[in-house]
């Protein structure tokens, strides 16, 4: 575009004047808009002046006087101040831009749209924002706000010994992360928990996927009778709420009265196994239970895919002389895996954070000497333990940060590979 020839300098004057919001609009003779902008900006300042002042001071210092300043309140106010400032600056930028644009229109000798036209444009362009804002605002306060809070908390020393109002909390930089690596107790626990989290995620998830696909293929055989009833039975573990079944299983695996030791193993002539007190057997039990809980989901997905595979594919393969094994590895499996891959990967991230089963089965136990997590604690249940029982807030936050980094990078990697991400209009 060529540089337009300006006959006047309305745009610059309007821009300069709207450093005080609304004045640029007044200059552009958009009186209603100007006045409402000014009132909005003024009330914004009046309402939030104290919070902004306090918040910005608080987020940097986290309080200076013990007893008067509550560091965590200050941190919360600080984050609020940052969020409100962002909204405020957004409005301010919009105000500047609006004044400049309309000034430019006048410079070019164009007519500035009337109030009614502005209203229509506002409704048309603003409609999606209007629709999104209730959800978005809630999201900011209950999801994004907590995330920011955790991120910041990871760089403080907030724990039982630095707990307001008796003590102040301070910024400590990367100290929490350094402690996780350097202090023996923390390093040992962290390594153990991380290792088990990985084994757990891959072990349990892979088993449930394998079992789900295997059973789906078996049930989907054409000459098998009673498919409907079998499918209903196989979906049952998914249909019953998981917290119920986990608690039931923890009763069944109980060492003193559980039916598994008392009845099933005894009748097979196997002595009692320490399902709750021996780390190894607890882990085995957990993986078995999760397989029981998780396979129906994969089973249902796979069944859906299998039913959609056209029969002609198999007929053509038969004509070409393919064995059933070849049909399975060359047709069925690739199609199933391709169609369900994105959902299967979410199963891994789900189990990575599967707090319910770990906590409800055995509370993350049995306890292990020399570390501050139980033998079957995964990262998320360790975080819970640190927060709720030992008040190690800042360490818990640091671990949460590490955990989220893992989950998000896996998720992004996965979604980059799905075709929807590449579709043009998708994003």
Partner 1 sequence: MDMKRQKLIRLTLSYAVILVMTIIIVYPLLWVVGSSFNPGQSLSGSKMIPDNATLAHYKKLFDTSQSDYLTWYWNSLKISTLTMIFSVILVSLTAYSFSRYRFIGRQNGLLTFLILQMIPNFAALIAIFILALLTGLVDTHLGLILVYVGGAIPMNTWLMKGYLDTIPKELDESAKIDGAGHLRIFFQIVLPLAKPIIAVVALFTFIAPFGDFILASVLLRSKEKYTLAVGLYDLVAKQFGSEFTTFAAGSVLIAVPIAILFLSFQKYFVSGLTAGGTKG
Q: Which of residues 11-30 bind partner 1 (CB under 8 A)?
A: none
Report the chain's C-alpha Rg in angstroms: 31
In angstroms, the Cα distances linking 46 to 14, 39, 356 are 24, 10, 46
Q: Provide the minimum distance between the beta carbon of 5 and partner 1 in the complex, in angstroms, as a whole number.
A: 29
Which residue pairs from 214-223 have beta carbons closer than 8 angstroms and sit at least 24 positions apart in sequence?
215/295, 215/299, 216/298, 216/299, 216/302, 216/303, 216/306, 216/336, 217/302, 217/306, 217/328, 217/332, 219/303, 220/303, 220/306, 220/307
As measured in angstroms, the least distance from the Cβ of 110 to partner 1 is 23
Q: Please count the other Cβ atoms lying within 10 Å of the Cβ belonging to residue 198.
A: 14
CA 275 vs CA 251, 263, 290, 404: distances in Å: 11, 14, 15, 31
Which residues in the 160-199 window bind partner 1 by CB under 8 A?
none
Q: Find the binder of partner 1 among 306, 360, 367, 368 (CB under 8 A).
A: 360
| From 47-55, 165-173, 277-285, 335-343, span contacting partner 1 (CB under 8 A) | 335-343
Of 180, 209, 301, 375, the one binding partner 1 (CB under 8 A) is: 301
Instruction: Please list the alpha-helical segments (H only) found in 108-252.
Output: 115-139, 145-153, 175-182, 184-219, 227-239, 242-252
Q: How far is the CB of 100 from partner 1 (least distance, A)?
A: 17
Q: Is 331 in the site for partner 1 (CB under 8 A)?
A: no
Tell me how far, at minimum, the Cβ of 142 lies from partner 1, in Å.
3
> CA-to-CA distance for 404 and 5, rounded, in angstroms?
53
Q: Which of 223, 312, 320, 424 binds partner 1 (CB under 8 A)?
A: 223
Closer CB to partner 1, residue 257 or residue 320? 257
Angstrom distance (rounded) from CA 206 to CA 199: 10
> How buried is 253 (Cβ within 10 angstroms: 0-12 exposed, 13-18 middle, 19+ buried)?
buried
Considering the complex, what minimum distance in angstroms separates the CB of residue 145 from partner 1? 7
12 vs 327, which CB is nearer to partner 1?
327
If one asks whether residue 108 binds partner 1 (CB under 8 A), the answer comes out as no
The reply on whether position 210 binds partner 1 by CB under 8 A is: no
Residues 235-274 that bind partner 1 (CB under 8 A): 235-245, 247-252, 254, 256-259
CB of 160 to partner 1, least distance (A): 13
Q: Which region among 43-51, 166-174, 347-355, 365-373 touches partner 1 (by CB under 8 A)?
A: 347-355
Binding letters toward partner 1, positions 72-91, x by CB under 8 A: xx--x---------------
Q: Which stretch binds partner 1 (CB under 8 A): 35-43, 44-52, 105-113, 337-345?
A: 337-345
* 92: contact with partner 1 by CB under 8 A: no
Residue placing its CB nearer to partner 1 in the complex, 67 or 304: 304
Locate 289 and state its tokens.
């239970």
For residues 419 and 357, the answer to whether their CB atoms sit within 8 Å is no
Integer Cα distance of 93 and 88 in angstroms: 9
What's the min distance (Å) between Cβ of 427 and partner 1? 5
Nearest CA to 286 out of 272, 299, 276 is that of 276
Among 1, 5, 142, 268, indicate the residue that binds partner 1 (CB under 8 A).
142
User: What is the nearest approach in angstroms of partner 1 to the Cβ of residue 135?
Assistant: 4
State the nearest-atom distance from the C-beta of 319 to partner 1, in Å.
16
Contacts of 93 (CB under 8 A, 6+ apart): none
Distance CA 254, CA 388 (A): 25
């Amino acid at each position: 575009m060529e540089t337009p020839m300006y006959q006047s300098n309305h745009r610059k004057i309007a821009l300069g004047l709207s450093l005080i919001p609304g004045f640029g609009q007044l200059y552009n003779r958009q009186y209603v808009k100007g006045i409402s902008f000014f009132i909005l900006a003024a009330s914004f300042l009046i309402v939030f002046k104290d919070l902004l002042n306090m918040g910005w001071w608080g987020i940097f210092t986290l309080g200076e006087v013990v007893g008067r300043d509550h560091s965590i309140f200050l941190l919360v106010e600080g984050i609020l101040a940052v969020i409100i400032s962002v909204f405020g600056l957004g409005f301010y930028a919009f105000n500047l831009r609006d004044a400049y644009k309309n000034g430019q229109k006048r410079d070019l000798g164009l007519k500035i749209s009337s109030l009614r036209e502005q209203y229509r444009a506002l409704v048309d362009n603003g409609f999606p924002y209007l629709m999104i804002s209730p959800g978005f605002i809630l999201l900011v306060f209950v999801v994004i706000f907590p995330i920011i809070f955790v991120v910041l908390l990871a760089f403080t020393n907030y724990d039982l010994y630095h707990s307001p109002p008796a003590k102040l909390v301070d910024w400590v930089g990367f100290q929490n992360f350094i402690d996780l690596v350097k202090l023996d107790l923390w390093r040992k626990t962290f390594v153990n928990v991380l290792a088990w989290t990985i084994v757990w995620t891959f072990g349990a998830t892979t088993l449930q996927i394998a079992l789900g696909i295997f059973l789906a293929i078996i049930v989907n055989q054409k000459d098998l009778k009673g498919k409907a009833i079998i499918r209903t039975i196989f979906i049952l573990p998914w249909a019953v709420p998981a917290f119920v079944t986990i608690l039931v299983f923890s009763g069944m695996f109980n060492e003193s009265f559980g039916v598994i030791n008392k009845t099933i193993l005894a009748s097979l002539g196997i002595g009692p196994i320490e399902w709750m007190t021996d780390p190894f057997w607890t882990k085995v039990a957990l993986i078995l239970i999760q397989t029981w809980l998780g396979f129906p989901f994969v089973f249902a997905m796979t069944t859906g895919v299998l039913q959609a595979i056209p029969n002609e594919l198999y007929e053509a393969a038969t004509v070409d002389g393919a064995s059933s094994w070849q049909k399975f590895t060359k047709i069925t499996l690739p199609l199933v895996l391709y169609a369900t891959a994105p959902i299967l990967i979410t199963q891994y991230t789900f189990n990575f954070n599967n707090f319910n089963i770990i906590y409800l089965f055995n509370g993350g136990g049995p306890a292990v000497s020399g570390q501050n997590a139980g033998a079957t604690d995964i990262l998320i249940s360790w975080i819970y333990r640190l927060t709720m029982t030992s008040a190690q807030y800042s360490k818990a936050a640091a671990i949460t940060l590490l955990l989220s980094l893992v989950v998000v990078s896996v998720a992004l990697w996965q979604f980059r590979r799905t075709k929807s991400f590449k579709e043009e209009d998708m994003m």
